[in-house]
Amino acid sequence: MMDFVYGLLLFLLMLNLLLGLVRVFRGPELVDSMMASLLLGTGGTALLLAFFKITKEAYYINLALGFALLAGVVGVAFAIIILGKSKDGI
């Protein structure tokens, strides 16, 4: 019973990642692709938390925290570096 419930849960979360990958592939513009990779960041964090719930190993929370932090930094950096104009000097 528990196996089936957790399997269904992991299937839903994996479907989430898969749909994100489809949008990255189809995305007409670059922004759409980056948005979908952001979705992959959130979905990956959710998957790690689901692993934490299933196995009760404490290190998954640290992994999730690092994942969330760096996915956000990458998103902001994409918006500023790729979409913006370049200027000299900080």
Partner 1 sequence: MLWQTGKKDMLDLALGLMLFISALLSLHSKDTMKSGVFFIIFGFLSGLIWVRLEAPDVALVEIILGSAITGLLIFKLVKGSKQKDLKAFTFTRLWAGFISFLILIFMLFHLTTIERQDRIASLVFENLHKSGVDSAVNAVLLNFRGYDTLLEVGVITLAIFGLLSLGLKREAYYWDNPLLKGFSRLSLPFIVFFSLYITYLGTFSVGGAFQGGALLAGGLVLFALAGQALPLKASIIYIFTMAGLGVFSLIGLLYALLGYGFLTYPLELSTISIMIIELSIWISTAFLLYTAYSGKL
Partner 2 sequence: MAFEILSIAFMFIGAIFLLAGSIGLIRLKDTYSRLHALTKADVLGFGFIVLSCILSTDLLSHWIKLLLVWLLVISYSALVGYALANRKKRYA
Residue among 25 and 88 whose Cβ is closer to partner 2 = 25
Q: What region does 16 belong to: left with phi over 0, alpha with psi -120 to 50, or beta?
A: alpha
Residue with tokens 């999730």: 64
Which residue type occupies 47? L
33 lies in the site for partner 2, by CB under 8 A:
no
Helical axes 2-26 vs 30-55, angle rounded to 10°: 170
Residues forming contacts to partner 2 in the complex (CB under 8 A) are: 5, 8-9, 12-13, 15-16, 19-20, 22-23, 29, 31-32, 34-36, 38-39, 42-43, 45-46, 49-50, 52-53, 56, 58, 61-62, 64-65, 68-69, 71-72, 75-76, 78-80, 83-85
